[in-house]
């Protein structure tokens, strides 16, 4: 028998065997899907991350308090709402969402009322089940959980203070949740982005690698598509009760599985917000971000066509911009047409998806929503030999 025919027959027999299986979890053949991204709102961060926050995988952002975690998801939500007019689900575990601070970042009152659903949850099980249900219904394409560290399980809430809680209870909960979440995100018709905010805490074992860890167990790390740690220096944080004219947040990429990462030196990925007294909001310093990308992507050239450096004259489309970064920033900021031309070129070299296509509208599946398989709370008392402990 011809070898190719034998292989084809074997493949058909294998597929027939799969099709006979009635289990919902039986293996299935799926068509490969192109990775899509949701813009972070920052040009520089989108460039470094290869497009922004990955869809169909969840992202974890963790770090010290007051270091820019919530600020990042809020400028992401602002960009998403402006581009698509879509809905954002915010599961506010910490009860810390400030409408006033959100307005200062550009999330207007209308956006908060018409495009955002803010939910407060009492128990971790309820909050995580809500996220799974939201992914299954595809009612939201951007889901924020702030934060995992503040979650309290039912066992913890009901236990008396003098009773020892179940060892690694939250880690077991998050292990099952993260696995089910990834399956739900992959099966969704629409590209959905889920962002988990988490806190950093000091490690108990001084011999353990690294300075900090985050609550929730190892499964949250292993199953995530992107992990960012805040690296904002203390002197760049916002003092309580004071208005700073410039806010700067920095992040370190700890894990990236969804794109070709253009990894910068530690702590050099981030964004800068400048206070605009006219609109009474913070705005991203896009001009500086454009210059950063232009430098690493050779958007500007020398007169001879070589690689540009700050000491030499910078040319764009054959036109001299000037010498030095300050002169170039002034040239970009002062001419709207030139700014758009450089911005378009920067987006080309960054392989950034057009905003109108970053979250495409897809028809709802005919079968509708089936919540079978997403209720996982009752499974927590079963032992799992592969559990990751916190």
130-139, 156-165, 340-349 — which one is most confidently predicted on average? 130-139
Going by pLDDT thresholds of 50, 70 and 90, the confidence category of residue 18 is low
Task: Indicate the pTM of the whole model.
Answer: 0.79
Domain boundary assignment for the chain: 33-155+166-284, 286-352
The mean pLDDT of 358-381, rounded to a whole number, is: 36
Q: Is residue 208 scored above 80 in pLDDT?
A: no
What is the residue-averaged pLDDT of the chain? 79
The residue with greater pLDDT, 54 or 262, is: 54
Q: Provide CATH code, domain 33-155+166-284.
A: 3.40.50.300
Whether domain 286-352 has CATH 3.30.250.10:
yes
User: What integer pLDDT is reported at residue 65 of this predicted model?
Assistant: 86
Per-residue pLDDT tens over the stretch 104-115: 999 999 999 999
The mean pLDDT of 93-119, rounded to a whole number, is: 94
33-155+166-284 matches 286-352 in fold = no
Label each residue of the chain as H, E or C: CCHHHHHHHHHHHHHHHHHHCCCCCCCCCCCCCCCCEECCCCHHHHHHHCCCEECCCEEEEEECCCCCHHHHHHHHHHHHHHHHCCCEEEEECCCCCCHHHHHHCCCCHHHHHHCEEEECCCCHHHHHHHHHHHHHHCCCCEEEEECHHHCCCHHHHHCCCCCCCCCCHHHHHHHHHHHHHHHHHHHCCCCCEEEEEEECEECCCCCCCCCEECCCCHHHHHHCCEEEEECCCHHHCCCCCCCCCEEEEEEEEEEECCCCCCCCCCCCEEEEEEEECCCCEEEECHHHHHHHHHHHHCCCECCCCCECCCCCEEEECCEEEEECHHHHHHHHHHCHHHHHHHHHHHHHHCCCCCHHHCCCCCCCCCCCCCCCCCCCHHHHHCCCCCCCCC
20-29, 156-165, 193-202, 210-219 — which one is most confidently predicted on average? 193-202
User: What integer pLDDT is reported at residue 363 of this predicted model?
Assistant: 33
């Amino acid at each position: 028998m011809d070898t190719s025919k034998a292989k084809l027959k074997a493949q058909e027999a294998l597929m027939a065997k799969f099709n006979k299986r009635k289990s919902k979890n039986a293996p299935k053949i799926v068509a490969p899907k192109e990775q899509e991204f949701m813009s972070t709102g920052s040009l520089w961060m989108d460039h470094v991350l290869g497009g922004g926050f990955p869809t169909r995988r969840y992202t974890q952002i963790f770090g010290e308090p007051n270091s820019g975690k919530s600020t990042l998801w809020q400028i992401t939500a602002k960009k998403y709402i402006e581009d698509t007019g879509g809905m954002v689900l915010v599961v506010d575990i910490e009860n810390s969402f400030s409408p006033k601070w959100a307005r200062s970042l550009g999330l207007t009152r209308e956006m908060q009322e018409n495009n955002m659903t803010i939910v407060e949850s009492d128990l971790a099980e309820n909050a995580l089940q809500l996220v799974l249900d939201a992914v299954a219904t595809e009612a939201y394409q951007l889901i924020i959980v702030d934060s995992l560290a503040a979650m309290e399980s039912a066992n913890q809430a009901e236990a008396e203070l003098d009773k020892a809680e179940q060892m690694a209870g939250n880690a077991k909960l998050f292990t099952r949740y993260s696995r089910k979440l990834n399956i739900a995100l992959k099966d969704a018709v629409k590209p959905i982005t889920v962002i988990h905010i988490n806190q950093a805490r000091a490690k108990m074992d001084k011999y353990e690698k690294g300075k900090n860890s985050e609550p929730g167990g190892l499964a949250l790390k292993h199953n995530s598509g992107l992990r960012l740690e805040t690296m904002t220096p203390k002197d760049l944080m916002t003092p309580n009760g004071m208005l700073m004219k410039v806010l700067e947040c920095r992040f370190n990429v700890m894990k990236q599985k969804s794109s070709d990462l253009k990894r910068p030196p530690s702590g050099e990925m981030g964004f800068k917000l400048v206070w605009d007294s006219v609109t009474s909001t913070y705005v991203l310093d896009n001009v500086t971000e454009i210059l950063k990308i232009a430098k690493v992507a050779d958007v500007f050239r020398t007169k001879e066509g070589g690689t540009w450096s700050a000491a030499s004259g910078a040319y764009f489309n054959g036109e001299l911009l000037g010498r030095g970064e300050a002169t170039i920033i002034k040239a970009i900021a002062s001419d709207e047409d030139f700014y758009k031309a450089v911005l378009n070129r920067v987006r080309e070299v960054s392989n950034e998806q057009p905003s109108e296509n970053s979250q495409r509208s897809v028809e709802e599946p005919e079968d509708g929503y089936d919540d079978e398989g997403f209720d996982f709370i009752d499974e927590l008392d079963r032992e799992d030999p592969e559990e990751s402990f916190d």
